[in-house]
Structure 1
Amino acid sequence: MPQDEPPPPAYRPAFEAALRLLARVSEDMAALGYARPVLVGGGAAEYYSASALMTGDIDLCSPLQDALEAVMRDHGFVRPSGPGMATRGWIHPEYGLGFEIVASVPMDGAVDRDHIFLVEGMEKGAAFSIISVEDLIADRMGQYASGSAPEMRGQARILFALHPDADLLYLEKRIRTETFDAYGIEALKA
């Protein structure tokens, strides 16, 4: 399902530049006949909140890690090295945000393919894929329910408030799945 409208100009400049770069990388993956990586995590939260929630990195899912990393290198990404440097992700020296391939599929395969969207308009002739806001909210609630990230309920509430047009039936199902039935939509309203 394409999202044809360009994003609002409210994104912070570094994040908007990272999205444009992601679109170019994604377009190159598609040109090679591969699936586009899917934006998840904090980058998806920043996208859906127009930078009200900010991230320090861009988390991606791709079953083709080697191919994606080769395309990223072609776009100038480097793997940080040296004392005190994280080595799991990639950095583009010009933009400063880290990019990391966190999984082969979003949310262990629990995301319905119809809920992965193509975002066009960030970069002329290029697009990137992103999980739905419903799946992102469910992910945040799952992290909250685990007890390891209490701040994630706040993020879920913000995203829910910003997206009153969310598919409530799908959202309820996904929150219940991610929280092992401990929470539903009501937890976003309380």
Structure 2
Amino acid sequence: MSAYRPEFEAALRLFARASEAMKARGFPAPILVGGGAVELYSNSAVTTGDFDIVTPRQEEFEGELKQLGFTKPVGLGHTPLGWVHPELRLGFEIVSATVLNGMADRDRLVLIDLGEDGEVAIISVEDMIADRMGQYASGTAPEMLEQARQLFILHGDADLDYMDRRIRHESGGDYGVADLKA
């Protein structure tokens, strides 16, 4: 994992440990989405300040984060939803109970083995690109087009048919794979 910045790799390993603890308790593995997934898929070319997590068991996952030394900052300037590890300065936030409101194909989740720390589940690159294109299409996040294009360039082996369907869904039909090539 040497291609990643050290704090990102350390956060990913903590996520793996929390994921393993969840699975040991019989709960589904939480899934990394958002900026953390973009950083992973871009080998830290695009960096993030937080890990967005999907899990239907928020309370239990937050308990695992506490066990790993995460705290929930309070006061002005802090999101009430995020958890921070004091050594990393990267936030963890539970953003949903399902990946992309249930529209992502769960069979496409990517599992990464981090050795003794365990395994992490990550949204597919196709769904991550579609998510970025949906955010771009909303008009609230123009920078997401560049992130989607960077991921597209880095992942030439992606399933273009699936990605096109997902982009069209996330963008309300306004965009498709062709818009990533411009």
Match of 2:101 among 105, 108, 117: 108
Tell me the residue number matched to 1:78: 71
TM-score of the aligned structures, taking structure 2 as reference length: 0.97
Match of 1:130 among 122, 125, 128: 122
Deviation at 1:82, TM superposition (A): 2.7
Alignment partners' CA distance in 2, 1:21 and 1:30: 14
Q: Is the 8 A contact 1:24 1:123 kept in 2?
A: no
Match of 2:153 among 149, 161, 164: 161
Tell me the residue number matched to 1:29: 22
> How many pairs does the alignment contain?
182
Q: Is the 8 A contact 1:23 1:123 kept in 2?
A: no
Between the aligned residues of both structures, percent identity stands at 55
Tell me the residue number matched to 1:149: 141
Deviation at 1:57, TM superposition (A): 0.4
Deviation at 1:19, TM superposition (A): 0.3
Task: From the superposition, tell whether residues 125 and 14 of structure 1 become closer, same or farther in structure 2 (CA, over 3 Å).
Answer: closer
Q: Is the 8 A contact 1:61 1:106 kept in 2?
A: yes
Query: Does the residue aligned with 2:52 lie in a helix, a strand or coil?
Result: strand
Deviation at 1:74, TM superposition (A): 0.9
Name whichever of 32-41 and 84-93 sits farther off: 84-93
CA shift digits 1:88-130 (9 cap, x unpaired):
110111211000000001111111111112111x242501110
Alignment partners' CA distance in 2, 1:16 and 1:113: 24
TM-score of the aligned structures, taking structure 1 as reference length: 0.93
Confirm or deny that 1:117 pairs with 2:107: no
Runs (4+) off by over 6 Å:
none
CA shift digits 1:122-180 (9 cap, x unpaired):
24250111000000000000000011111100000000000000011110110011011
CA shift digits 1:48-103 (9 cap, x unpaired):
00000000000000000011111111111111113333221101112110000000
Confirm or deny that 1:177 pairs with 2:169: yes
Confirm or deny that 1:65 pairs with 2:34: no
TM-align CA RMSD: 1.0
Query: Does the residue aligned with 2:51 lie in a helix, a strand or coil?
Result: strand
* One-letter code aligned to 2:19: S
Match of 1:94 among 80, 87, 90: 87
Query: Does the residue aligned with 1:158 lie in a helix, a strand or coil?
Result: helix
Alignment partners' CA distance in 2, 1:112 and 1:12: 29
Query: Does the residue aligned with 1:129 lie in a helix, a strand or coil?
Result: strand
Q: Is the 8 A contact 2:126 2:162 kept in 1?
A: yes
